[in-house]
Amino acid sequence: MYYRNLSFICSLFCLICLASCAQGTGAGGAVKGGDFSVSGKITHAKAAKVYLKQINFATGSPIMLDSVNIGKDSSYHFKTTKINGQHLFVIQPADGYPFLFINDASSAILNINGIQPMDPQIKGSDATAGLYRFLATYRKDDSTIVETFKALDSIHRISAPTPKDDSVRDALGTARDQQITQMNKDIEQFTQNTSSPVAAFYVLKLMAPRSIQPEELFPITQKASERFPEDGSLAGLTSQLKVSLASDNPDNYSLMGKQAPDLEMKSPDGKDIKISDFKGKYLLVDFWASWCSPCRAENPNVVKAYNAFKDKNFTILGVSLDKDKDAWTKAIMHDHLTWNHMSDLKYWSSAAVGAYQISGIPFNVLLDPTGKIIAHNLRGEDLEKKLSEVLK
């Protein structure tokens, strides 16, 4: 059975640095008008100040929104405006433990006890309360599995095991498998029942990969995405898993070695652009979208490759599956994508989806100067490696 033996507390702290969540969902009980407040008391805190941060996985860093002094009566209060849709936030005393919060209501109370960091008192936010109930179940599952692994490790260290030792080892192995299966059931049940797309994404992105293989995680994530069809983060995670599974077989792309289908769309400034306009150069046709968090996470690798090879008869054409022009153009500027771009702004109904058999993004194809597809789905170091081969 698959299981990454990491401590639960460590996993929760990894939230702050993890890179791949949506800017916001706009679904699942979003705060009307973009205003919300959270207040409460922080007891047994060593610090005098508390911070409110918004988790932004697209850039890999939290956004500092506000800080307030903890009152003499241990109280604090944050009020934030112009934040549309559900987001995941952290309320964190200076040099203290981070507490998760989802803005599914216009106001909520979060009472924090520094001695019991995993058990805040939550009122007014069903999404936050539900997430912490799941985390308590997950923490219990995780502790049980870790203890079983420790017992198994002790048995494996015996240099000359007896038949009794072998019997204990087999029993522990069965128990481990059953415990992991139970953990995975708890994950699936939570993501099927939660009313918050943000909570579902958090669990599927950070918790589930520890115990669920990608081929088993994909249908669970797909169901969650179908429950929240407007949520870009879940759609992006589903696409990422689908592409990852498909890439295990590099020969399954039927357009390999064929002339690339031509497409004509509008650039951000309204000009007509065609893929065939770039014949004579090696061209990476990069399919992406501003709402796709895995795409945004991959963009720095694409920028690096472009800067390394742009003077060697190579360029990039970005083809976006966006539907919001403003979000598309802002993402281009924010991620420093200085090459040509085009889109028909039709989301998954884009002409590019059928023409290039796109089942998920990010996705790309590399064309030679004649317009023939010579590689596809080049990610990370694989992109630079392939370009180094062909651009000698």
Residue 71 confidence (pLDDT) = 94
The angle, 0 to 180 degrees and rounded to 10, between the axes of the packed helices 232-246 and 214-227 is 150
pLDDT at 61: 65
Select from 28, 34, 30, 29 the least CA-distant residue to 65: 34
Sequence-ordered list of residues with C-beta below 8 angstroms from that of 33, at least 6 positions apart, any chain: none
Higher pLDDT, 63 or 200: 200
Average of per-residue pLDDT across 100-118: 90
Q: Is the pLDDT of residue 67 over 50?
A: yes
* pLDDT, tens digit (0-9, with 9 covering 90-100), for 248-267: 555 567 889 999 999 999 99
More confident: 2 or 79: 79
Look at residue 17 in the predicted model and tell me its pLDDT.
39
pLDDT digits (tens, 9 = 90+) for 330-366: 989 988 999 999 999 998 889 998 899 887 788 999 9
> Using 50, 70 and 90 to split pLDDT, how confident is the model at 247?
low
Kindly report the average pLDDT of the chain as a whole number: 85
Cβ neighbours of residue 21 under 8 Å, at least 6 residues apart?
55, 56, 57, 58, 88, 201, 202, 205, 233, 293
Query: Are residues 298 and 378 in contact, defined by beta-carbon separation less than 8 angstroms?
Result: no
Residue 129 has pLDDT above 60, yes or no: yes
Between 317 and 248, name the one with better pLDDT. 317
Task: Give the Cα separation of 172 and 156 in Å (integer).
Answer: 11
Kindly tell me if the per-residue pLDDT of 372 is higher than 80: yes
The set of residues, in sequence order, having a beta carbon less than 8 Å from that of 258 and lying 6+ positions away, is 372, 373
Q: Give the C-alpha separation, 328 to 291, whole Å.
A: 8
The pLDDT score that the predictor gives to residue 207 is: 86
Q: Using CA atoms, how far apart are residues 211 and 19, in angstroms rounded to an integer?
A: 20
Decide if pLDDT at 31 tops 90: no
Residues paired with residue 314 on neighbouring β-strands, in sequence order = 282
Q: Which of 8-12, 40-44, 198-202, 337-341 has the highest mean pLDDT?
A: 337-341
State the pLDDT confidence band at 8, using cuts at 50, 70 and 90: very low
Per residue in 266-288, pLDDT (tens digit) is 999 999 999 999 999 999 999 99
Q: Distance between CA 385 and CA 387 in Å, rounded?
A: 6
Residues 376-384 have a mean pLDDT of 88
Averaged pLDDT, 147-170: 84
Structure-derived torsion over alpha carbons of residues 323, 326, 327, 333, reported in degrees to the nearest 10: 130
**Contact call for residues 302 and 268 (beta carbons, < 8 A):** no
pLDDT band at 2 (very low <50, low <70, confident <90, very high): low
Is the Cα torsion angle 274, 280, 286, 290 positive or negative in sign? Answer: negative
Mean pLDDT of 91-118: 88
